[in-house]
Amino acid sequence: MTHRFDEVDRTFAEVAAQEHVPGIAYGVVVDGELVHAGGVGTLVAGRDEPPDAASVFRIASMTKSFTGAAVMLLREEGSLRLDEPVTTYAPELAGWRGPTADSPPITVRHLLSMDSGLPTDDPWADRHIDATREEMDALFAAGSAFAWPPGIAFEYSNLGWGLIGRIVENIAGTPVQRIVEERLLRPLDMASTAWSRDTLPGGVRIAEGYRWQDETFVPEDEPLGDGQIAPMGGIWSTVEDLSKWVAFFLDAFPPRDEPDDGPLARAARREMQQLRRVDEVTSVALRRGGAERVLARGYGIGLAVTHDVRLGTMVGHSGGFPGFGSHMRWLPDRGLGLVALGNVTYAPMSTACLEAIERLADADALPPRRRVTPAPELTRAAAKVRGLLESWDDAEAAALFADNVFLDESRDRRKAAATALRHRLGALEPFGEIDAETPLRGTFTLGSGRARVEVMLDAAVPPRVQTCDITVDPPVITDPAHLTAAAGTAYVAARPSGSLAELFESVQTQVRERLGGESALSPRAHVTFKAFGSAPHPVDEAGAAAIADVARAWAEVTPPLTLTAEALEVMDEEQVPYIRLRASDELRRATDDLRERTGDAGLPPAESDRWGGDAWIFHLSLAYPSAVPADRWSALGDWIRGIDPGGASSVVKAADLLWFDGGPERWIGRYAFDG
C-alpha cells in the first residue's frame, strides 16, 4: 500500500473548517497498527491546545460495541442466551408488551441488533445517561411505547442498551461497566479509556465540548456522569486506545487455526460484525456531488454494518453527544480502519471518515483485499483440472468430477473444448494462483490470464469437482468473412480497461442498433500497435514465433501506456466506426520503437504499413460492417461525431500477440510492459 496520508490530513482539516469543529483527533489503522495519527484545531476553544492521538474525547454510542462485547463474553461462558426472552434475565420487565396482540417477546438479540421495536430516542437518552437505578426501576414499572412489534424492523434504541446493562448486571452481579474495564480494557491496554471523566488517569489532555451557535463556539453543559443508561454511550477514550479496539476487531479475520487468545474469541468478534438487521437498501451519494451508489446498511451486535459496491463491507459505529461527535470505521477484508473524534455537538465524523477512505480509494492507496485461503482440496483439484486441460484422460476425468458434471455437459464436448482451448491459446502455462471466493470455490487463470477456469467442489468426503467452467477473453474478430480475410496476419495489440472500455461498450451497443443488428463487430475493445502479414507475405507459424521474440523484447523496455479517447469517427472507405485515441508522445515513441525492431528483424509487412508510423491513427474499431446503405452510413457518421468521449482513458500494462491462420484467432502470448 502506498500510504497517501496527505489525503487523510486534508480531509479532516476541511471538515473541521466547513463543519465548525473546534478540534479533531484522528488516526489510521493498518494491519493492527496505528500507522498515522494527527489533529487539527484545539481541545479548548480560544486556546492553542491542538489535539493528538492521546487526547481524550467522549465517544458516546461507540460505547455500544464495548457493551456488546461484554454480553458476548457472558454468552461464551454459558451465562446468557441471545435468543432468550429478556424477562428470563430481567423479571422487572415482565409487564412490557409489544404494540400488537401478536407481538413476540423481546429477546436479548432484539436489543443487541436494534430490532426490539422500541422507538428511536437519541435526544432523550443523551440527557439521561446518568439515570440512577431507582429512576430506571420506575421507568421499567411504567412500561414503554413501541414503534414496531419486536423482530420486524430496524429502530435505533438507546433505552434498549440501558436494558442490556440491567440484564448483564442481574446475571453477573456486577455492572457491565466493571466487566468492560476488567475483561476488555485492561487486557487490551486501553489505559486512557474510562466511563467517567473523573476516573481518567492523571495528566491526560481532555477535550471540552461545544456547540456552534450564533456564529461562535458555546460551551456545552457539564457532561453527565456514569449511570444506568451509560452502557449505550458513556465511555471516554482516545485515538490511541480506540486504534487498539479497531485492531482487535480486524484481527478476527480471516478465520484460522492459530491460537485464539481473546480476551473475546475471534468467532464472537466476527459474529458481532455480521449484518443482523437491515436498516435500508438505498441508492445514495456518499460524497458531495458524487455519483450515487447502492448500499445495504444495518446493524450487527453493537456495531453498524454497511455493504458498499465500491468499498466492500464496512463495520464501525458513530457517537454523538452534546459537545462531541465521534466515529470508527474499518474494512475487514482490507485490514484498514479509521478513528476520528471531534468536540462539537454531533460532529460529523462519520462523513469525514468515509470521505477519507473514498479519497484513499481514488488514489488507489487502499490495502488490497485480503485473499480467501483455498482449502487444500481445492488446490489439489485445480492442479488436476489443469492436467486434464493439457492432456485429457477419461479415467482421470471420471475420478475427478462429480456425477453431475458429464450430465450437465457431455464428456465428448468437454474433451473437445479442452482441445480447442489448447489450439487457441497454445501453451496453457503460466498458471495463475487460485483466486478463492470460498475455501471450496475459486478461479485460476491459464496462459497469462487469457483464460479463466472456475472450479467448485461438492460436499462429498473427499470433495469432488461439481463445476468446471472455462471462459476465454473474447476474440477481436468473430465474423467468418472477416476471419477468412484476416488469414496470414498477426497483430500486437492491447485490451484497454476502465472508463475507456466502458465507453467502447456503451457506444458499440448503440452502433449495433443503428446498423440494424450488424454482426461484424469487434467483441472487445483492442488497440493495434503493429500489424504483420498480407496475402503476398503471410505470417506462418515460424513467423509468429519470430514476431513473439520481438514483441517480448520490446515490452521489456516499454513502460505502461496510457490510452485516452480523443474523438469518435468513421473511416468511410473501409466503413469502420471507431474511437480515435490521442497520439501522445509516449504512444508514438513506443510504436516507432516496435516498427524499427520489426523492420530490423525482417518480419512480414502488413497492408497498413503503407501509411507509415506518423500517419497511423491509434483507434478502437467498433465494428467491421460491409455494404451499409449510404443514407444509413451517413446518419451513423453524423451521430457518432457528435459524441463527446469525455476523456475516457485506460492504462494498459501488457500487449498480446494474435495470429490468424484461417480459422479462429490464435493467441501466441501476453507480454507485460516493464520499462
Angle 298-304-308 from CA coordinates, rounded to 5°: 65
SS3 state of residue 633: helix
**Averaged confidence pLDDT in the chain:** 93
- Which has the higher per-residue pLDDT, 244 or 262? 244
Band (pLDDT 50/70/90 cuts) for residue 3 is low
- Mention every residue, 6+ apart, whose C-beta is less than 8 A from residue 33: 243, 247
pLDDT digits (tens, 9 = 90+) for 566-600: 999 998 888 889 999 999 999 999 999 999 999 99
Band (pLDDT 50/70/90 cuts) for residue 1 is very low
623: number of Cβ within 10 Å: 22
Q: What percent of the chain is modeled with pLDDT above 90?
A: 79
Rounded Cα distance between 463 and 468, Å, is 14
Band (pLDDT 50/70/90 cuts) for residue 393 is very high
Section 292-297 average pLDDT: 86
- Which has the higher per-residue pLDDT, 612 or 272? 272
Rounded Cα distance between 300 and 312, Å, is 16
The closest of 195, 196, 219 to 209, measured between CA atoms, is 219
Q: Which long-range contacts (CB under 8 A, 24 or more apart) does 128-133 make?
A: 128/224, 128/227, 128/229, 129/224, 129/227, 129/229, 129/230, 129/232, 129/233, 129/234, 130/224, 130/225, 130/226, 130/227, 130/229, 130/230, 131/162, 131/227, 131/228, 131/229, 132/227, 132/228, 133/228
Residue keyed to cell 484513499: 360
Rounded to 5 degrees, φ, ψ at 140 are -60, -40
The closest of 64, 63, 65, 1 to 29, measured between CA atoms, is 1
pLDDT digits (tens, 9 = 90+) for 6-50: 999 999 999 999 999 999 999 999 999 999 999 999 999 999 999
pLDDT digits (tens, 9 = 90+) for 328-344: 999 999 999 999 999 99
Rounded Cα distance between 71 and 64, Å, is 10
Q: Which pLDDT score, from 0 to 100, does residue 626 have?
A: 74
SS3 state of residue 519: coil
Q: Is 290 a residue whose pLDDT tops 80? A: no
Section 295-307 average pLDDT: 96
Rounded Cα distance between 131 and 15, Å, is 34
Q: Is 517 a residue whose pLDDT tops 80? A: no
SS (H, E, C) 37-90: EEEEECCCCCCCCCCCCCCEEECHHHHHHHHHHHHHHHHHHCCCCCCCEHHHCC
Q: What percent of the chain is modeled with pLDDT above 70?
A: 98
SS3 content of the chain, % helix, strand, coil (to 5): 35, 25, 40
Out of 262-271, 355-364, 437-446, which region has the weakest mean confidence (pLDDT)? 355-364
The two most distant CA atoms of the chain are separated, in Å, by 100
Section 635-661 average pLDDT: 93
75: number of Cβ within 10 Å: 16
C-beta of residue 234 within 8 angstroms of C-beta of residue 319: no
Rounded Cα distance between 625 and 635, Å, is 15
Section 354-379 average pLDDT: 91
Q: Count Cβ neighbours within 10 Å for each residue of 112-136 and write b for 16 or more, e otherwise.
A: bbbbbbbeebbeebbebbbbeeeeb
Q: What secondary structure does DSSP assign to 400-441, as a single string? A: HB-TTHHHHS-HHHHHHHHHHHHHHHSS-PSPPPPEEEETTE
What Rg do the C-alpha atoms of the chain give, in angstroms? 32
Q: Is 107 a residue whose pLDDT tops 50? A: yes
The closest of 130, 134, 220, 230 to 180, measured between CA atoms, is 230
Q: Which pLDDT score, from 0 to 100, does residue 394 have?
A: 95
Q: Is 233 a residue whose pLDDT tops 80? A: yes
Rounded to 5 degrees, φ, ψ at 509 are -60, -45
Rounded Cα distance between 671 and 594, Å, is 13
pLDDT digits (tens, 9 = 90+) for 156-201: 999 999 999 999 999 999 999 999 999 999 999 999 999 999 999 9
- Dihedral sign of CA atoms 479, 480, 484, 490 in order: positive
The closest of 296, 190, 301, 299 to 246, measured between CA atoms, is 190
Band (pLDDT 50/70/90 cuts) for residue 518 is low
Rounded Cα distance between 25 and 59, Å, is 12
- What burial class does residue 145 get, using C-beta atoms within 10 Å of its C-beta: 0-12 exposed, 13-18 middle, 19+ buried? exposed
Q: Which pLDDT score, from 0 to 100, does residue 58 have?
A: 97
Rounded Cα distance between 665 and 663, Å, is 7
- Mention every residue, 6+ apart, whose C-beta is less than 8 A from residue 292: 283, 284, 285
Rounded Cα distance between 316 and 299, Å, is 10
Rounded Cα distance between 646 and 644, Å, is 5
Q: Are strands 561-571 and 576-581 parallel, antiparallel or unpaired?
A: antiparallel
Rounded Cα distance between 113 and 304, Å, is 9
How far are the Cα atoms of 16, 227, 356 from residue 128, in angstroms, in the given order? 28, 8, 33
Amino acid at 174: T
Out of 135-139, 361-365, 464-468, 560-564, which region has the weakest mean confidence (pLDDT)? 361-365
- Which has the higher per-residue pLDDT, 612 or 352? 352
Angle 396-402-407 from CA coordinates, rounded to 5°: 100
Helix axes 630-640, 498-514, angle to 10 degrees: 150
How far are the Cα atoms of 32, 206, 243 from residue 411, in angstroms, in the given order? 50, 72, 56
C-beta of residue 414 within 8 angstroms of C-beta of residue 655: no
